[in-house]
Structure 1
Amino acid sequence: MSRSTNDATELTRFDSSDSGGVSIGDPTAGSSDSLRLMKRDHSSEYQLRHDYTIMKTSQSTTSVGTPSKEIEMSLENDADNYPASCSSEYYITRKDFGKPEPQLANVLKEFYWKELVYAKDMRLVNESFFNKIRDHVADCRFLQELFGSLKEFAPIHQPFIDALKESMNEPDDVKAATVAPVLLATVHNLTPLYQSLVQNFPIYISALDQLYRSRIPFRTIMSKFESSKECYIQVNWLLLKILNRLINWQPVLARIIEIQLSDGGNETELTAFRVAMDKIIEFAKKTKATRTSLEEYIHVLQVERDTGLVGVLTHPNRKILRVGFVLRSARRAPCSRVMVLCTDRILFGHRGANLDGNFFTVHAEFKLKGMMIDEGDTYKVMDGEKDVITLHNADISIVFAAPDRASWIEDITEAIKNAARAKIDLPSLVMERKEENDIDMTKVLLPEESPVSKMSPLQICWYRKCSFGRKDVNKMITNTMCGYLKRKLRNSAGWQELWVVMCCHTLYFYRNHNDQEPLAHLSLMDYGVGLPTVADNINNHENCFKLFYGSHTYFFRTESYYFFERWVDSIFQAAISRDSLDVVTALALRI
């Protein structure tokens, strides 16, 4: 793949008086393997190289442009031209042609695109969802208050969206002047509203959950809405995404301020950006604990729906640390299971919808208090499986294999320590326990073999054979990206331009930003991201990256290096795989 910016490392030799580079094998250091770092005057080095290139071009070519033999011989014997003091001293230097600096136009375009998505999310909740449940929430004061509060945000946000749109068609030197004052006024007016919303949001989410559990007609309407094409993520996550709107302005504002400082922008505009940033940072600090608790609470509600343990997992002193796919030992052969690691116990479940339509059924639970953990197959019962973990106490032993064993071991070890220090025992979660060999799979209602159109993180973990941790939950809403990408499949000939929205570790594809329903979506969990190789045959295209998982490969192009870097970084965080970023891409982005 061709790139507008190159980053290479070359081996060059310099006089010992010229500071810079990494010295390898310096004889004066007393060891041929010693290294020493020195600073270099890059401007002087560039001038020397430039002069040498001009001299070489003007003097070393014949009439047909071929180097003369004299110059070729002098280049071959170049080592003899260096002083004796540095004849054995080599320097590794980075030829840095410089990665393009972010342009204000690109950052504001990203800002504008994200605001379009947030505005559409607000309409989806305030209009589409509310119109369907209006009659069912008429007697619920908290939900009436929630939707009433959300309707106050749109008029305040709209002037800022209009200012961003206006800046798209303006010269670069006046873009900041258009956006800065409107941004500051918007942040000033929105901060107290969001502060109040965050304080009351736990009550709103609890009221919505209580209504979902207690009223079958409301549950039916909400489930039908969530399964519709226009509702691309579940309602709880959609509400939480709206709640974090100001928080997601932070990284964009940081890039704007950095550009203004480097370009020597107008002091008035820079001050407006800084004051707005300070207000958002203060708001983020005050609400961080509440927002984190809300993210984890909504994740617990989702796991409850997946496993049929509605109203059981939600306990003030219980948190879910990790969920995912494991292979658990059984009498005949290792069995595929889902595992839910809580702060006080471990749950095992099998795939199969019960009469309530749950995707998984939990059949076993084990307390962590008094457990010990061993790395490996202590009892040799896993038939040579790799990544095996053994848990045991005086009464029972649990042996299972997990593809991402390191993450499981880290979380289980911490949970065991905390369980040992706990002063109270939380109530049991599974009333009827069945051992692995007692499960009659002939009486289990299995879902279709192909994944459903919309899947929760636990369901995706089942198919991708991976896990989903507490830290990943906290990134579901804060790690977002959107914009136009050109997509190409491995076997297709051309590129297709699509509007792409990334949220909740998933890419959603639209024809354009005005479309209400996505054409398709792609979960990023356990996907790899990297640069196209020679074998991919992606030639004459810059700013390309690819996503791959197993035999599936997708290629994408961005309009500039700025968006290339933003997309790859966001997808890397969303993939939550330890091996999701290849070495070449990591070096190219300096991650």
Structure 2
Amino acid sequence: MPNGGYPQDIGELSSGKMLRNGDVVEEVDGRKTKRWPTDKAYFIAKELLMTERTYKKDLDVINIWFREELSKESESEGDSLVTLIELLADAHGPCLQEMEVRLARWESNARHNIGDYLYNALLNVLPLYDQYLENLMPVLEKFEYSMRTSKHFDQLCRDFELQKHCYLPLTSFLLKPLQRLLHYNSIIDSLLDHYPKDHTDFEDCLAARDRLGETLLEGLTVLNQAENLVQLCELQRDISGFDNLVQEGRRFIRQGCLQKYSRKGFQQRMFFLFSDVLLYTFRSQQPTQCFRVHGQLPLKNMKVQENDNKTGTDYAFIIHGIGNQSLTVAACSEEEKERWLEDLNTTIAQIDSVEGKMPYLNLKTCILGSVDEVGDGVGCESDRTSCGGAKTSQRRNTTVHGCWHRNTSISYSDQLRAFQNQLSGFLLRKFKNSNGWQKLWVVFTNFYLFFYKSHQDSFPLASLPLLGYMVSQPSDKDGINKDFVFKLQFKNHVYFFRAESDYTFGRWMEVIKSATQQSHTTTSYSFKEEY
């Protein structure tokens, strides 16, 4: 099928007519062009193929590229990372090839089944996933220990993350197999919802879900532990000024921007809420962009005053710590304020119900409650834990920097929701003031859209952080007279993206809403196609 599912003339789609065999004949400039099968199961299977392409490339980031870096070194701290991934990477090569063949057949023959492929493929690979889940936490713990104790390994990993094909933080790739299991489950559920019970594919899909469910029982338990540990490891690398953020029992709750009040007025600061402590930081540019801790407030005996009577600022509240220590802060909106208040009050209530003293961070800087803050631009320490030292620059596509630039926050529940949503495929993109549409291979993951010329490219050309964006259908004044188009907007930045079908359009809307914090809105997006 040419152009990844679009007609040859991808700039001009018109309404088509369905043939009895399920294909569509489309008229373009008086010419009839065959498009694709219209069965929803086809588009579900195609999503499986599109995401399998991305998944295999993500596995290869560890199995090929990181392995190559390790082969240059005599130290073996990273061998366990490669061992964790290599069997899965080897197994998914044939899986991807089989999917490519199946979809090609489906496009030449309107009737096809996918359930038997899913059942047989899962039957072969799930024992490897069982082994992966058993070893994931020990490997992550060993990785964190090696990063903390070996300056050489730490620098090796930071240098690797600056390479173009490592488009996400390194630890994110270690969680990709777990993310893939959740996506398989979503694909199977979509097929079971679509097929009638007497469909020839229904029983195979049901058997595939039952077998996958056995592995997911363990997977969901590991997910909470692994995602929390990865988040703590990542924050340890983006924040300077303290040691040992990764501690047993500590959980990540929320991170994001608040305006902190001092005698100089309100200044933007980055806050990090954990299960036992609240940190506030300022951004430093030297020797690299990072967030330096200015103070901490243990959550034990903390009180939150929801109204600010001192500054008269909208969306402000006061956080009272031990003794007479307090912070006056303001959110950027009522919604952001409510998110912070809910997480603060819930976490404080949980810690106050625990007997004994909770451990909290051992700061190497700043006395709690200092009124005057050091402004942005003051250098962070040059040791290994302070954002990687002078040899590195800003780490790629981290949620910390996304929150800072969008003046917003994300919670652990936001992380989990985004973790369970991923998508890949071809989209047509149009800028607000441009005339034509550009065809791109687009990958959604980790709150970002990544843009490639094709799925065969080894690294993205550009990325777009979705935090703070709103996703919607175009309005009449946008002048977009095409089907299956969604609009992304942040302030005056506007993008239009065009999907190939009603199903694909709905899926892109669904996953993007999971990253833009609009997932609580239960709006149905669907076009009624007339043939």
TM-score range, shorter chain: 0.7 to 0.9
Find the counterpart in structure 2 of residue 502 from structure 1.
444
Q: What displacement does 1:519 show?
A: 0.9
1:433 equivalent to 2:370? Answer no
Q: What displacement does 1:250 show?
A: 0.7
> For the structure 1 residues 213 and 312, does the alpha-carbon distance in structure 2 shift closer, same or farther, using more than 3 Å as the test?
closer
Q: What displacement does 1:398 show?
A: 2.0
Equivalent of residue 211 in structure 1, options 137, 146, 156: 146
1:221 equivalent to 2:162? Answer no
Find the counterpart in structure 2 of residue 316 from structure 1.
248
Equivalent of residue 237 in structure 1, options 162, 172, 175: 172
Find the counterpart in structure 2 of residue 274 from structure 1.
206
Equivalent residues in 2 for 1:16-55 (5 A)?
A: none
Q: Distance in 2 between matches of 1:475 and 1:518?
A: 24
Deviates more, 1:283-292 or 1:143-152: 143-152
The structure showing larger relative contact order (alpha-carbon pairs under 8 Å, at least 6 residues apart) is 2
Equivalent of residue 49 in structure 2, options 109, 112, 117: 112
Q: What displacement does 1:490 show?
A: 0.6
Q: Distance in 1 between matches of 2:270 and 2:209?
A: 43
Equivalent of residue 331 in structure 2, options 402, 407, 422: 402
Q: Is the contact between residue 169 and residue 398 of structure 2 (CA under 8 Å) also seen in structure 1? A: no
> For the structure 1 residues 533 and 436, does the alpha-carbon distance in structure 2 shift closer, same or farther, using more than 3 Å as the test?
farther
After superposition, what is the alpha-carbon deviation per residue over 1:131-155, rounded to whole angstroms, capped at 9, x for unaligned?
1023547544xx5344234222234
Partner secondary structure for residue 329 of structure 2: strand
Equivalent residues in 2 for 1:78-97 (5 A)?
A: none
Q: Is the contact between residue 528 and residue 547 of structure 1 (CA under 8 Å) also seen in structure 2? A: yes
Equivalent of residue 346 in structure 2, options 403, 411, 414: 414
Find the counterpart in structure 1 of residue 511 from structure 2.
570
Partner secondary structure for residue 244 of structure 1: helix
Q: What displacement does 1:473 show?
A: 1.7
Partner secondary structure for residue 287 of structure 1: helix
Q: Distance in 2 between matches of 1:160 and 1:442?
A: 50
Q: Provide the aligned length of Structure 1 versus Structure 2.
A: 476
Find the counterpart in structure 1 of residue 69 from structure 2.
132
Q: Is the contact between residue 525 and residue 577 of structure 1 (CA under 8 Å) also seen in structure 2? A: no
After superposition, what is the alpha-carbon deviation per residue over 1:31-51, rounded to whole angstroms, capped at 9, x for unaligned?
xxxxxxxxxxxxxxxxxxxxx
Q: Distance in 1 between matches of 2:279 and 2:73?
A: 35
Gaps of 5+ in 2: 1-12, 17-36, 381-386, 388-392
Partner secondary structure for residue 43 of structure 2: helix
After superposition, what is the alpha-carbon deviation per residue over 1:467-506, rounded to whole angstroms, capped at 9, x for unaligned?
0101012134321001000000011111000000000010
Equivalent residues in 2 for 1:149-548 (5 A)?
A: 149-171=84-106, 174-176=111-113, 179-261=114-196, 264-266=198-200, 269-308=201-240, 311-353=243-285, 357=288, 359-378=290-309, 380=310, 382=311, 384-392=312-320, 394-403=323-332, 404-429=336-361, 430-434=363-367, 435-441=369-375, 444-445=378-379, 454-539=396-481, 541-548=482-489
After superposition, what is the alpha-carbon deviation per residue over 1:417-443, rounded to whole angstroms, capped at 9, x for unaligned?
112112232334124434453334387
Alignment-mate amino acid for residue 284 of structure 1: L
Partner secondary structure for residue 509 of structure 2: helix
> For the structure 1 residues 102 and 468, does the alpha-carbon distance in structure 2 shift closer, same or farther, using more than 3 Å as the test?
farther
> For the structure 1 residues 249 and 443, does the alpha-carbon distance in structure 2 shift closer, same or farther, using more than 3 Å as the test?
closer
Alignment-mate amino acid for residue 438 of structure 1: D
Q: Distance in 2 between matches of 1:102 and 1:174?
A: 8
Q: Distance in 2 between matches of 1:188 and 1:137?
A: 38
Higher share of residues assigned helix? 1
Q: What displacement does 1:211 show?
A: 2.2
> For the structure 1 residues 144 and 310, does the alpha-carbon distance in structure 2 shift closer, same or farther, using more than 3 Å as the test?
farther
Q: Is the contact between residue 241 and residue 477 of structure 1 (CA under 8 Å) also seen in structure 2? A: no
Q: Distance in 2 between matches of 1:442 and 1:526?
A: 23
Q: What displacement does 1:354 show?
A: 5.5
Q: Distance in 2 between matches of 1:174 and 1:251?
A: 22
Partner secondary structure for residue 437 of structure 1: coil
Alignment-mate amino acid for residue 364 of structure 1: G
Alignment-mate amino acid for residue 123 of structure 1: D
Q: What displacement does 1:253 show?
A: 1.1
Q: Is the contact between residue 301 and residue 348 of structure 2 (CA under 8 Å) also seen in structure 1? A: yes
Q: Distance in 1 between matches of 2:81 and 2:156?
A: 18
Q: Is the contact between residue 160 and residue 182 of structure 1 (CA under 8 Å) also seen in structure 2? A: no
Q: Is the contact between residue 81 and residue 174 of structure 2 (CA under 8 Å) also seen in structure 1? A: no
Q: Distance in 1 between matches of 2:314 and 2:210?
A: 49
Alignment-mate amino acid for residue 527 of structure 1: Y
When the two chains are superposed, the root-mean-square deviation of aligned CA atoms in Å is 2.7
Q: Distance in 1 between matches of 2:360 and 2:415?
A: 25
> For the structure 1 residues 587 and 277, does the alpha-carbon distance in structure 2 shift closer, same or farther, using more than 3 Å as the test?
closer
Find the counterpart in structure 2 of residue 550 from structure 1.
491
After superposition, what is the alpha-carbon deviation per residue over 1:371-406, rounded to whole angstroms, capped at 9, x for unaligned?
22222213x1x3x32111222255222211112011
Alignment-mate amino acid for residue 333 of structure 1: G
Q: Distance in 2 between matches of 1:365 and 1:453?
A: 24
Partner secondary structure for residue 181 of structure 2: coil
Deviates more, 1:108-117 or 1:472-481: 472-481
Q: Distance in 1 between matches of 2:515 and 2:329?
A: 26
Q: Distance in 1 between matches of 2:347 and 2:366?
A: 22
Alignment-mate amino acid for residue 226 of structure 1: E
Q: Distance in 2 between matches of 1:300 and 1:209?
A: 10
Partner secondary structure for residue 105 of structure 2: coil
Q: What displacement does 1:180 show?
A: 3.2
Q: Distance in 2 between matches of 1:189 and 1:159?
A: 11
Q: Distance in 2 between matches of 1:101 and 1:317?
A: 50
Alignment-mate amino acid for residue 284 of structure 2: G
Gaps of 5+ in 1: 6-99
